[in-house]
Amino acid sequence: MRSLLPYLKLFNHARFPLIFGIVLMIAGLASSIGLLTLSGWFLAATAIAGIGSLFNFFYPSASVRGLAIGRTVARYFEKIVTHDATFRILAKLRVRIFSKIIPLSPAVLNRYRNADLLNRLVADVDTLDTLYLRLIAPFFSALTVIACIGIGLAFIHLPLALFISLSLLLLLMVIPTVFYRLGTAFGDRLTRSRSDYRTGFIEFIQSQAELVLFNAEDKLKSRLQQTEKEWQSYQRQEANLSGLSSAILLFANGLMLALTLWFAADAELGSGEYKAAFIALFTFAALSAFEILMPIGAAFLHIGQIVASAQRLNELEQQAPLVKFDGNLTALSQNREHTRNSPVLIQLQGVTFCYPGHTAAAVKELNLEINKGEKIAVLGKTGSGKSSILQLLVRNYDPNQGEILLAGQPLCAYSEAFLRSQIGLLSQRVHIFSDTLRNNLQIAAQAPIQEQTMYQVLEQTGLSHLIADEGLDLWLGDGGRPLSGGERRRLGLARILLNSSPILLLDEPTEGLDRETEYKMLKLIFAHCRDKTLVMITHRLSQIEQFDRIMIIDEAKLIEQGSYEHLRAKPQGVFKALTERI
């Protein structure tokens, strides 16, 4: 239950609406119980009076109408107030969790599957709305209304009032406790099986093409069906217990109703003409009072699921980022003395790095200097550590040993916003947001980009056909579904051409493109980077001679570097052997 404390504190953001919602809930319940109780007395008294007798029915009938209207109004506004407050709290909760997730990317978030993160952010947060709407508010409202019933009926007959109120209070304590215990027995498993099914289903939909291609659809589908059966079995247990809760409360209601009728028939209810009508009043009061108990028993079944969802969210929130941006440098000009005396912009000094959870080093004792405006190509076989160098330069990870300097200052000394503005990265995977083409291009720069500039870049990258019908308002959908792999790659290059960062890091930007398109894209890249520092990973040797320096990485180490002419002339050189073999 301690896992719920951080979420209970969120109620402070909507304290008064939530309290007002409980007041309205109490008013609605009191009006409903008062309506049925007064109606019972009114009908009995009318029957006793009979035809031709003098009986003032104006006050009771007006009260019945007033209570009916009050019940409707109170319940209407209670739903509006409580749901609005709850949704506002859940919105704050989602923002808080998302703000916790952002610093975890990518080092910590790699431990989680994307579908699992989505399920936690959506389904688990939605589960927490039960905490107020179905547990806290109804429970406190029930306590208050039971007290009001006892006080109100005590003016007529104290022993009967105590019997009804204490019976209701006993049921309010016992029934939720019992079903809370029963619900926690499988609530955690139900939440996790639901999460596993939804995660698996999302991945099944997203991987349809690959599953069909490799004939693996049936295997994954059977595994998904097994998870669904497990989830359904827990749902069946929940439904059975919910039905049992209703059955017990109905039985208790009938028993209490019979006992109330029995005790009221022998009770001394005054000496007035309509004293027998009070029997109906107490009987209908006992009958209507169960309206406050019926939803509570089943609601406490969900506490196990609520706690499990809270624990899953707490697990995510308590993850500590591996990289903390606590630097405060916001300009390279603060290192003016260094930049005046040395052309070196980036330095890697004895850098060694292992990915979390791995023992093999991705980068070993790397010493490297990159001058301002220099164009560097990084070559090496897959898994040699090329991409890891780029990940370190943008501080997605920090090195385990050594230091990285930017303009003479440690990379960690710069603020995150400034570092992101100075370094632009194009990774192997170009992510397309489910948004318009315009907004997918706009993320390349913080300042608004002119539409004419976007049109020009799309023309240069061979994507002008995308704006033929809908223009820049073309909806690209989830992951850029309408686009081919080559179009996604060129859209990533279009972002680079719109990026104004002085340092650009490109990870195989022309992979998957044909020779002619590759030549055009490289020409655009070199033109755009004329006054910029460029580090580009590539497996191809197209236009390799245009780079100022070529670096060869193998087994996480820098084994060779130099200009094209220098490496070509180097006897027994790795680059020379590579070019001769090709």
Residues 395, 323: contact at Cβ < 8 Å? Answer: yes
Distances (CA, A) of 278 to 47, 148, 157, 160: 13, 18, 9, 11
DSSP classification of residue 454: H
Distance, CA of 532 to CA of 291 (rounded, Å): 73
Please write down the long-range contacts of 50-53, taking CB distance under 8 Å and 24 or more positions apart. Answer: none
Residues 402, 352: contact at Cβ < 8 Å? Answer: yes
Among positive and negative, which fits the CA dihedral 560, 564, 566, 572?
Answer: positive
What is the phi/psi pair of residue 252, to 5°? -65, -35
Residues 514, 485: contact at Cβ < 8 Å? Answer: no
Hey, what amino acid is at 454?
Answer: M
Distance, CA of 529 to CA of 401 (rounded, Å): 31
The string of DSSP codes covering 93-158 is HHHHHHHHHGGGTTTTGGGS-HHHHHHIIIIIHHHTTHIIIIIIHHHHHHHHHHHHHHHHHHTT-H
What is the phi/psi pair of residue 409, to 5°? -115, 145
Hey, what amino acid is at 187?
Answer: G
Distance, CA of 97 to CA of 1 (rounded, Å): 20
pLDDT at 191: 84
Distance, CA of 486 to CA of 518 (rounded, Å): 11
Residue 323 DSSP SS3: coil
pLDDT at 568: 85
Q: Edge-to-edge strand order for the sheet containing 344-353?
A: 363-371, 344-353, 401-406, 409-410
CATH assignment, 332-581: 3.40.50.300
pLDDT in tens, the chain (582 residues): 677 887 888 888 888 999 999 999 999 999 999 898 888 888 888 887 775 566 677 788 888 889 899 999 999 999 999 999 988 888 888 888 888 888 887 777 777 777 788 888 888 888 888 888 888 888 899 999 999 999 988 988 899 999 999 999 998 888 888 888 888 877 888 888 888 888 888 888 878 777 887 888 888 888 899 999 998 998 898 889 888 888 988 898 889 889 988 888 887 776 666 777 888 888 888 888 888 888 887 788 788 888 888 888 888 888 888 888 888 888 876 455 555 556 888 999 999 999 888 888 899 999 999 999 999 999 988 888 888 999 999 998 889 999 999 988 899 899 988 998 899 998 888 888 888 889 989 988 888 899 999 999 999 888 888 888 888 888 888 777 778 878 888 898 999 899 889 999 998 888 877 888 888 888 888 899 988 999 999 887 778 888 999 999 988 888 888 888 888 888 877 888 877 776
Residues 6 or more apart whose CB falls under 8 angstroms from that of 258 comprise: none
Give 536's strand partners: 377, 506
Q: Quote the radius of gyration of the chain (alpha carbons, Å).
A: 35
- Break the chain down into helix, strand, coil percent, rounded to 5: 65, 10, 25
Residues 472, 454: contact at Cβ < 8 Å? Answer: yes
Q: What angle do CA 319, 398, 563 make, to 5 degrees?
A: 150
Residues 422, 333: contact at Cβ < 8 Å? Answer: no
Residues 573, 560: contact at Cβ < 8 Å? Answer: yes
Distance, CA of 582 to CA of 539 (rounded, Å): 12
Among positive and negative, which fits the CA dihedral 379, 385, 390, 393?
Answer: negative
pLDDT at 510: 83
What tokens does 406 get? 């930017």
- Locate the domains of the chain by residue range: 2-317, 332-581
Give 363's strand partners: 353
Distance, CA of 512 to CA of 507 (rounded, Å): 13
Residues 348, 404: contact at Cβ < 8 Å? Answer: yes
CATH assignment, 2-317: 1.20.1560.10
What tokens does 353 get? 């790095």
